Structure 1
Amino acid sequence: MARERNGKFAALLEEARWSRAQAAAAYNRVAEETLQGEVRENSRIGRSHVSMWVAGVQPKGVAPAILSQALSRRLRREITPEEVGFAVPTSPAQGALDWRVDPLIALNDLGSDVDANRRRLLAGGVYSAAALLLPDECWWTSMAERPATESQASKRVGRADVDTVREITQAFSRLDQRRGGGHGRRAVDEYLKFEVLDFLRGRFANDETRRAMFAASAELAYLSGWMAFDNSEHAVALNRFNVAVKLAARSRSAPLSGHILRAMAHQALDLGFRHEALKIAQASVNGDRYTHATPRERALLGVVHARTLAANGQKQAAARALLLAEDDLSNARDGILEPDRTFFFGEASLAHETACTLRDLGDHQKAVKEFRRSVRTRGPAFRRTHAVTLGYLGATQIAQGAVEEACATWSSVLDAMEDGIYSGRARQAVADMRSLLSPFRKRGVPAVGALDARAASYLAHVQ
């Protein structure tokens, strides 16, 4: 009996503007991230697999889940295996995070969660909207309550221990900005699990120290999440953000909770969950999370909120949010003690996020101007973000038809990447570069051929 062509899959490939080879490459990137070297049926595929599945062959093993995840990221909405035309059941809300789990238990389970997330994905789930639902207000109130019973641990924890955790966080945060999230995240997790957990279970000199230690631990857990997000380890990132929010809530630091929610919104937006991203961003600027924050942090929360508004077509609201973020940053001046976690956010970062907002609103000309301002004003300590900005600038330039300008910009991206930046976001900028150059390969533009060959060589060595 002849097989029936999988029209659903073929339509999605056409919508994604993927060739068979490009679809296979995207699949393999997600599989590598998810499986972490584990060999499973269809743990790596070629273009012939894609052709067979379009022809009606039902994929086996991990393929339905991996392919659905790859398509979800490309199309920026959740794609289930059923929507791809695959005869596999989906388990609703299997990716939902359990906000009831105590943060200390979650810290103790670091490492094993990677396997748990992998099992959930391979059972048929993807990074889904269900995983992005925030707890209600009652949860925040109960999480902030001091435990009814004090710890009987012999370890006494003081301000010097809090300072130690903060120093570790600062060191790795600066490394992340220079080299990308692919450097050192596992070391951060080891410190969280074996050192920070002992501090949190210790005896505190007073309640102020207890809250300070929970806040410092939350910032380190957030940093682990941000590094994982930057390196495209999205399930791990979401788990770390979840732990960080719990620790921040227990510390009663509303601005810190807002800071972490802002990162969750950023990740959701990058993965195409724009409606969920907006809800999380709105939560990040709600009440004390915004009003009790310092000017620099308010600007950071506000500009990500602006991006989510733009992604949801709320043009006027996005413009107002951008103006407010600019005003907030202008109020960040000497004499105001800003938290260390905002050290990276200044004029260059504001320009980068503003450019992304304008780009999503369709104003490419102003977006290019802001991306250039970001590139011009960013210091050498922020090389990873610099590479990401250049990648976005090149994509916006080529959208305007400025092909040679885009090639020059993207050449600078490769210069940075080849100099030791390990970042999934920056790698994706190189992959997107090749995709955007594809229509121009046969037009005889010398810069296109040279850059495409260089990008292909780079990706072959890092993937």
Structure 2
Amino acid sequence: MARKRNERFEALLKEAAWSRAQAAGAFVRVASESNLTDYTRIARQHVQHWVDGHEPSGQAPIIMCEALSRRLRRVVTAGEAGFTAPNSPAQGALDWRVDPLIALNDLGSTDLDPDRRSLLRGGVYSAAALALPAESWWVEMAKEPPSAGKSAQRVGRGDVESVREMTLAFSRMDQRRGGGHGRSALVEYLRSDVARYLVGKFPDDRVRRDMHSAAAEGAYLSGWMAFDNGEHDVAEPYFALGLKLAARSGDAPLSGHILRAMAHQALDLGLFNKALELSAASIDRQRYESATPRERALLGVVHARCLAASGQKKAATKTLLRAEDDLRSAHDGIEEPARTFFFGQASLAHETACTLRILNDQKGAIDQFGRSVRTRGAAFKRTHAVTLGYLGATQMSVGRVEEACATWSRALDAMEEGVYSGRARQRVLEMRQLLSPYRRRGISAVVEVETRTADYLRTVD
């Protein structure tokens, strides 16, 4: 029996003004970005088969729909494209209409279940799904939800502090060891203890809001750890979940903090317009105005990087200067949120250097990366290793080969002390790529770093 032509998919290709080859190219770009290497050989004939009625297998429907979504600037679902796609718990977290408690339970259960984890890991980062909701959504989310049932446990101020302390402990571990260490334990804590607290009986609305804020920080941290480990498809729904919980708590600065992280992720993925949109939202009105100086500085430096990536040099420079002023105004008498414990002069210098690199000021970037390395404490081993990786790459860009190798040796020293981080691994891959033109020149420093990078990759892959 002849297959029925997929007219829905064909109509979307026409709307996108794509040939079959162009559609295949867009598909491969999304698959490559999400490290779905099994799908990077899709060609025009595959797209034609799908138009002819053959059902794309595995994650292919999700990848194709994401490519179409980006092209058409709206969310294209598998159903609209005439495909059958596996249901993912990420969809609930990314749908602003889905209650955060439902999203938390679904995400956590799937993330921790070996048999279902593939539904979450192996998806794609969805830029189209991150269209932020209207102002009315934020207002509605901040309203008090229905009262808990009679059998619900009592939840007090001490429980809120317990969640905050636990999240801070995981955050400090992330700074030392990287996002690849301990995230599943955090997810288990969110899914069990924190989820029960969120449906408990609160003595007053302030405690309710504070508990949702504490839960939001935990969800955000789980997303950040996944992002650091290169699991972008996992990070995205946790960031969205954190944003929902922050909105329910009415915590505007925390919403800005999470939007800042989402902008950072989009920036790293090369989605500069989306990154700028998210970073602009992170500093919008109350999110910036009611934040403490240290957090304003953090929001500002990421916004500066996004401006630079979008070609807005003057605005990026002005924003950097404002971030410096904000950090300068932070002092011991101001109570800062625990989530900003890591952000100081070293972090500001790192972010400034990243912005200067984008603006092609390599000398300025080297100076700022060096300043970051000199001022960062030993407790921040993961970030220290990443900064050294960037510093070496920037030194290489101006021909300082042996100096770069010495810097990279220090980076590898830090990484080899139990750092599990996708961002750190990416720096090692960059080292190998940048050293490749020098492999046959007999430079001992190059040979040494090459050998160490190969050994490191064998241990983490």
Whole-Å Cα distance in 2 between the matches of residues 395 and 68 of structure 1? 34
Q: Which residue of structure 2 lines up, in the alignment, with residue 100 of structure 1?
A: 97
Contact 2:373 2:388 in 1 (8 A): yes
Q: In the alignment, which residue of structure 1 is the partner of 2:396?
A: 398
Match of 1:30 among 28, 32, 35: 35
Measure how far apart 1:29 and its partner are: 9.1
Q: Does 1:366 align with 2:392?
A: no
**Equivalent of residue 307 in structure 1, options 292, 305, 326:** 305
Which residue in the other structure is 1:444 paired with? 442
Counterparts of 2:218 and 2:121, CA distance in 1: 26
What per-residue deviation string (whole Å, max 9, x for no partner) do you get for residues 69-118 of structure 1? 9xx9xxxxx799xxxxxxxx897999862011111111111235558895
Q: TM-score, with normalisation over the residues of structure 2?
A: 0.82
Q: Do 1:352 and 1:374's aligned partners in 2 also have CA atoms closer than 8 Å?
A: yes
How far is the alpha carbon of 1:353 from its aligned partner?
0.3
Equivalent residue for 1:294, pick from 292, 300, 309: 292
- Could you tell me which residue of structure 2 aligns to residue 316 of structure 1? 314
> What is the TM-score normalised by the length of structure 1?
0.81
CA positional deviation for 1:450: 2.0
**Identity percentage over the alignment?**
59
Gap regions ≥5 residues in structure 2: 1-19, 50-55, 73-80
State the secondary structure of the residue aligned to 2:145: coil
Residue pair 1:248, 1:254 contacting (<8 A) in 2 also: yes
Contact 2:272–2:309 (Cα < 8 Å) also in 1: yes
CA contact (8 A) 1:65 1:121 kept: no
Cα-Cα RMSD: 3.4
C-alpha distance in 2, partners of 1:116/1:90?
Answer: 24
Cα distance 1:90–1:337, how it changes in 2: closer, same or farther (>3 A)?
farther
Looking at structure 2, the residues matched to 224 and 54 of structure 1 have their Cα atoms a distance apart, in angstroms, of: 36
Task: Kindly indicate whether the alpha-carbon contact (under 8 Å) linking 2:25 and 2:43 is maintained by their aligned counterparts in 1.
Answer: no
Q: Could you tell me which residue of structure 2 aligns to residue 194 of structure 1? A: 192
Quote the offset at 1:67 in angstroms: 9.9
Tell me what 1:109 maps to. 106
Match of 1:455 in 2: 453
Q: Which of 152, 155, 168 is the aligned partner of 1:154?
A: 152
Which letter maps to 1:340? Answer: A
| Alignment match, 1:251 | 249
Quickly say closer, same or farther: Cα 1:200–1:322, change in 2 above 3 A: same
Give the residue type in structure 2 aligned to 1:266: H
Quote the offset at 1:30 in angstroms: 2.4
Q: Distance in 2 between matches of 1:8 and 1:284?
A: 34
Going from structure 1 to structure 2, the CA distance change for 1:79 and 1:290 (only over 3 Å counts) comes to same
1:456, CA displacement in angstroms?
1.4
Contact 1:248–1:257 under 8 Å retained in 2: yes
CA distance in 2, matches of 1:90, 1:305: 39
Post-superposition offset of 1:121: 8.3
1:355 equivalenced with 2:353 (yes/no): yes
1:410-449 equivalent positions in 2, closer than 5 A: 410-449=408-447
Aligned residues of 2:216 and 2:243 also touching (Cα < 8 A): yes
CA contact (8 A) 2:354 2:365 kept: yes
Cross-structure match for 1:237: 235
Unmatched segments (≥5 aa) in structure 1: 1-5, 17-25, 33-41, 44-48, 73-77, 81-88
Q: Distance in 2 between matches of 1:394 and 1:66?
A: 37
How far apart, CA to CA, are the structure 2 residues paired with 1:129 and 1:201?
Answer: 31
Q: Secondary structure at the match of 2:144?
A: coil
Q: How much has 1:136 moved relative to structure 2?
A: 1.3
Cα distance in 2 for residues equivalent to 1:29 and 1:441: 30
Amino acid at match of 1:272: G
State the match for 2:15 in structure 1. none
Match of 1:126 in 2: 124
Name the SS of the counterpart of 1:420 in structure 2.
coil
The question of whether the paired residues in 2 share the 8 Å contact of 1:31 and 1:66 is answered with no
| 2:287 aligned partner, one-letter code | R
Residues 143-178 of structure 1 show CA distances to partners (whole Å, capped at 9, x for unaligned) of 011124444343111001111101101111111111
Question: In 2, Cα distance between the equivalents of 1:149 and 1:128?
Answer: 34
Displacement of 1:441: 1.5
Mark the CA change 1:181 to 1:398 in structure 2 (over 3 Å): closer, same or farther: same
1:445 shift after superposition = 2.0
Aligned AA (1:237): A
Partners of 2:369 and 2:425 lie apart in 1 by 19
Task: Name the CA shift for 1:55/1:68 in 2 (closer, same or farther; >3 Å).
Answer: closer
Match of 1:272 in 2: 270
**Equivalent AA in structure 1 for residue 225 of structure 2:** M
After TM superposition, list the pairs within 5 Å mapping 1:136-151 onto structure 2.
Answer: 136-151=134-149
Question: Where does 1:374-385 land on structure 2 (aligned, <5 Å)?
Answer: 374-385=372-383
AA of the residue aligned to 1:330 = R
In the alignment, the residues of structure 1 paired with residue 392 and residue 181 of structure 2 have an alpha-carbon distance, to the nearest angstrom, of 26
Which residue in 2 is equivalent to 1:340?
338
Does the CA-based 8 Å contact 1:103-1:246 persist in structure 2?
Answer: yes
In 2: Cα distance, 1:280 partner to 1:151 partner: 37
- C-alpha contact 2:124 2:232 (8 A) present in aligned 1: no
CA contact (8 A) 1:178 1:383 kept: yes
**In structure 2, C-alpha distance between the alignment counterparts of 1:462 and 1:139, rounded to whole Å:** 43
CA distance in 2, matches of 1:195, 1:454: 42
Q: How many residues align?
A: 415
2-side partners of 1:137 and 1:92: how far apart? 33
